Structure 1
Amino acid sequence: MKKIIFAALAACFLPCLAFAQLKITGTVSDNSTLLPLPDVTIRIKETNKLNVSDKNGIFEFNNLKPGIYTLTLSHIGYKLNTHVVEIEANKSIQIKLIPTSFIAEEVLVQSTRVGKQGVSTFKNISKSEIENQNFGQDLPFLIQNTPGVVVTSDAGAGVGYTGIRIRGSDPTRVNVTINGIPYNDSESQGTFWVNMPDFASSIDNIQIQRGLGTSTNGAGSFGGSVNILTSSVSDLPFVSTNNSIGSFGTLKNTIKLGTGLIGNFSFEGRLSRIKSDGFIDRSKSDLQSYFVSGAFKTDKEVLRVNVFGGKEQTYQAWNGIPEAKLRGNLNDINDYINRNGLSGNDALNIINANPRTYNSFLYEDQNDNYWQKHYQALYAVQLNDNYNLNLAAHYTDGKGYFEEFKENQKLSNYGISPVLIGNTTIERSDLVRRRWLDNDFYGITYSLSFKNDKLSWTIGGAYNEYLGDHFGEVIKSNFGNVINLDNHYYDNRGTKKDFNVYGKLNFNVSEKFNLFGDLQYRNINYRVVGTDKNRNQLFVKDDLNFFNPKFGLNYILNSNQHLYTSLSFAKKEPNRDDYINFSNGFTPLPEGMADLEIGYRANTKNLDFGINGYGMWYKDQLIITGKINEVGEYFRQNVPKSYRIGLEADVAYTINSKFKILANAAISQNKINTYIDYSDDYDNGGQVEEIYKNTNISFSPSTIIGSELVYIPLKNLALSFQSKYVGKQYLDNTEHESRSLNSHFVNHLRMGYSFSILGIKNIQLGLLINNLFDKKYESNGYTFGYYYGGKRVTENFYFPQAGRHFITNLNINF
Structure 2
Amino acid sequence: MKTVLTTGLALLGLSGAAWAQGPVSGTITDARTGAPLPGATILLDGAASGATDTAGGFSLTAVPAGTHELRLTFVGYETLVQTLQGQAGAQRLNAGLQPGGVLTGDALVTAQRASDRTATAYTNLGKQDLAKRNFGQDLPYLLDQTPSVVVNSDAGAGVGYTDIRIRGISNTGINMTINGIPLNDAESHGSFLVNLPDLASSISSLQIQRGVGTSQNGGAAFGASLNISTLDNRREAYGETSNSYGSFNTWKNTVQFGTGLLGQHFTVDGRLSRISTDGYMNRASSDLKSYYLAAGYQAKNTLVKFITFSGREKTYQAWNGVPEPAISGDQKLLQQFIDNGELSPADAERVRQEGRRYSYYTYDNQTDNYQQNHYQLHLSQGLGSDWNLGAALHLTRGFGYYESFRTGRKLANYNLPDVVLGDTTIKRTDLVDRKWLDNYFYGGTFALNYQPKGNDKLQATLGGAWNRFLNDHYGEVIWARYASTGNIRHRYYFNDAAKTDYNAYARATWQVLPQLGVYGDVQVRHINYNLDGLEDGQVDVGTHVSYTFFNPKAGATFALAEGQQLYASFAVGQREPVRSDFTDRLAGDQRAQAERLNDFEGGYRLTQPNSSLLGPNTALRLEANYFYMNYRNQLVSIGQLNDVGTPLRTNVARSYRRGLELTGFLSANDKISLSSTLTLSQNRILDYREATTDSTFVLRTSTISYSPSVISAHTLEGQPLKGLRAALLYKTVSRQYLDNSASYNSRIKPYQVLDFRLRYTIRPVFIKEIELGLLVNNVLNRRYAANGYTYGYPGADGQQQTFNWYYPQATRNFLLSIGAKL
> Is this a same-fold pair by TM over 0.5?
yes
Cα 1:110–1:167 change in 2 (3 A) is same
Match of 2:340, SS?
Answer: helix
Q: In structure 2, what residue type is equivalent to 1:650?
A: T
* Contact kept in structure 1, 2:638 and 2:705, CA below 8 Å: no
Cα 1:624–1:112 change in 2 (3 A) is same
Cα 1:405–1:656 change in 2 (3 A) is same
Identity over aligned pairs, percent: 37
User: Which residue number in structure 2 is paired with residue 318 of structure 1?
Assistant: 319
Deviations 1:694-724 (A, max 9, x none): 1111111110011010111112000000101
1:479 Cα deviation (Å)? 3.2
Cα 1:113–1:486 change in 2 (3 A) is same
Distance in structure 2 (CA, Å) of the matches to 1:673 and 1:194: 36
Distance in structure 2 (CA, Å) of the matches to 1:19 and 1:626: 69
The within-5 A match list for 1:143-542 is 143-262=143-262, 263-340=264-341, 342-343=343-344, 345-353=346-354, 355-452=355-452, 453=455, 454-479=457-482, 482-485=485-488, 487-542=490-545
Q: Are 2:809 and 1:801 aligned?
A: yes
Picking from 775, 788, 795, the partner of 1:788 is 795
Q: In structure 1, what residue type is equivalent to 2:659?
A: G
User: Which residue number in structure 1 is paired with residue 821 of structure 2?
Assistant: 813
1:332 Cα deviation (Å)? 2.6
User: Which residue number in structure 2 is paired with residue 759 of structure 1?
Assistant: 766
Q: In structure 2, what residue type is equivalent to 1:617?
A: N
Deviations 1:268-312 (A, max 9, x none): 110101111111110011111111111112342321111001000
Distance in structure 2 (CA, Å) of the matches to 1:372 and 1:706: 33
* Contact kept in structure 1, 2:72 and 2:81, CA below 8 Å: yes
Cα 1:689–1:812 change in 2 (3 A) is farther
Distance in structure 1 (CA, Å) of the matches to 2:195 and 2:345: 35
* Contact kept in structure 2, 1:122 and 1:207, CA below 8 Å: yes
Q: Are 2:49 and 1:52 aligned?
A: yes
Please, which moves more after superposition, 22-31 or 535-544? 22-31
C-alpha RMSD over aligned residues: 2.7
Distance in structure 1 (CA, Å) of the matches to 2:294 and 2:690: 51
* Contact kept in structure 1, 2:44 and 2:68, CA below 8 Å: no
User: Which residue number in structure 2 is paired with residue 553 of structure 1?
Assistant: 556
1:505 Cα deviation (Å)? 1.6
Cα 1:634–1:305 change in 2 (3 A) is closer
User: Which residue number in structure 2 is paired with residue 590 of structure 1?
Assistant: 594
Q: Are 2:651 and 1:650 aligned?
A: no
The within-5 A match list for 1:31-42 is 33=31, 39-42=41-44
Match of 2:219, SS?
Answer: coil
Picking from 622, 627, 642, the partner of 1:609 is 622
1:70 Cα deviation (Å)? 6.2
Match of 1:465, SS?
Answer: strand
Match of 1:356, SS?
Answer: helix
Q: In structure 2, what residue type is equivalent to 1:121?
A: A
1:646 Cα deviation (Å)? 0.2
Deviations 1:540-570 (A, max 9, x none): 1101110001111111223312111001112
Please, which moves more after superposition, 18-27 or 791-800? 18-27
* Contact kept in structure 2, 1:434 and 1:473, CA below 8 Å: yes
* Contact kept in structure 2, 1:625 and 1:677, CA below 8 Å: no
Please, which moves more after superposition, 327-336 or 131-140? 327-336
Cα 1:19–1:592 change in 2 (3 A) is closer
Distance in structure 2 (CA, Å) of the matches to 1:238 and 1:317: 39
User: Which residue number in structure 1 is paired with residue 121 of structure 2?
Assistant: 121
Deviations 1:709-759 (A, max 9, x none): 011111200000010110111111111111111111110000110001242
* Contact kept in structure 1, 2:28 and 2:40, CA below 8 Å: no
Q: In structure 2, what residue type is equivalent to 1:265?
A: F
Please, which moves more after superposition, 173-182 or 100-109? 100-109
Distance in structure 2 (CA, Å) of the matches to 1:70 and 1:703: 49
User: Which residue number in structure 2 is paired with residue 6 of structure 1?
Assistant: none
Q: Are 2:634 and 1:621 aligned?
A: yes
* Contact kept in structure 2, 1:81 and 1:97, CA below 8 Å: no
Cα 1:539–1:213 change in 2 (3 A) is same
* Contact kept in structure 1, 2:118 and 2:509, CA below 8 Å: no
Distance in structure 2 (CA, Å) of the matches to 1:758 and 1:333: 62
Picking from 703, 725, 739, the partner of 1:718 is 725
Q: Are 2:20 and 1:22 aligned?
A: yes
Q: In structure 1, what residue type is equivalent to 2:21?
A: K
Q: In structure 1, what residue type is equivalent to 2:806?
A: Y
Distance in structure 1 (CA, Å) of the matches to 2:133 and 2:553: 34
User: Which residue number in structure 1 is paired with residue 612 of structure 2?
Assistant: none
* Contact kept in structure 2, 1:719 and 1:751, CA below 8 Å: yes
Larger radius of gyration: 1
1:536 Cα deviation (Å)? 2.1
Q: In structure 1, what residue type is equivalent to 2:288?
A: L
Match of 1:362, SS?
Answer: coil
* Contact kept in structure 2, 1:173 and 1:222, CA below 8 Å: yes
Deviations 1:484-538 (A, max 9, x none): 2454211000111001111112122111111111111010000000111111223
Show structure 2 runs of 5+ residues with no match.
1-15, 610-618
Distance in structure 2 (CA, Å) of the matches to 1:91 and 1:788: 73
Higher relative contact order (CA 8 A, sep 6+): 2
Cα 1:60–1:524 change in 2 (3 A) is same
* Contact kept in structure 2, 1:25 and 1:59, CA below 8 Å: yes
Match of 2:684, SS?
Answer: strand
Show structure 1 runs of 5+ residues with no match.
1-17, 45-49, 682-686
Distance in structure 2 (CA, Å) of the matches to 1:154 and 1:200: 20
Distance in structure 2 (CA, Å) of the matches to 1:299 and 1:240: 29
Match of 1:332, SS?
Answer: helix
Q: Are 2:636 and 1:636 aligned?
A: no
1:102 Cα deviation (Å)? 1.6
* Contact kept in structure 2, 1:626 and 1:678, CA below 8 Å: no
Cα 1:707–1:410 change in 2 (3 A) is same
Please, which moves more after superposition, 21-30 or 618-627? 21-30
* Contact kept in structure 1, 2:269 and 2:293, CA below 8 Å: yes
Q: In structure 1, what residue type is equivalent to 2:581?
A: D
Distance in structure 2 (CA, Å) of the matches to 1:480 and 1:622: 40
Distance in structure 1 (CA, Å) of the matches to 2:148 and 2:280: 26
Cα 1:57–1:414 change in 2 (3 A) is same
1:418 Cα deviation (Å)? 2.3
User: Which residue number in structure 2 is paired with residue 664 of structure 1?
Assistant: 677
Cα 1:727–1:59 change in 2 (3 A) is closer
Distance in structure 2 (CA, Å) of the matches to 1:480 and 1:144: 48
1:339 Cα deviation (Å)? 1.1
Distance in structure 1 (CA, Å) of the matches to 2:683 and 2:766: 56
Distance in structure 2 (CA, Å) of the matches to 1:110 and 1:51: 22
Q: TM-score, normalised to structure 2's length?
A: 0.90
* Contact kept in structure 2, 1:475 and 1:483, CA below 8 Å: no
1:445 Cα deviation (Å)? 0.6
Match of 1:757, SS?
Answer: coil
Distance in structure 2 (CA, Å) of the matches to 1:70 and 1:726: 48
Q: TM-score, normalised to structure 1's length?
A: 0.91
Cα 1:28–1:378 change in 2 (3 A) is farther
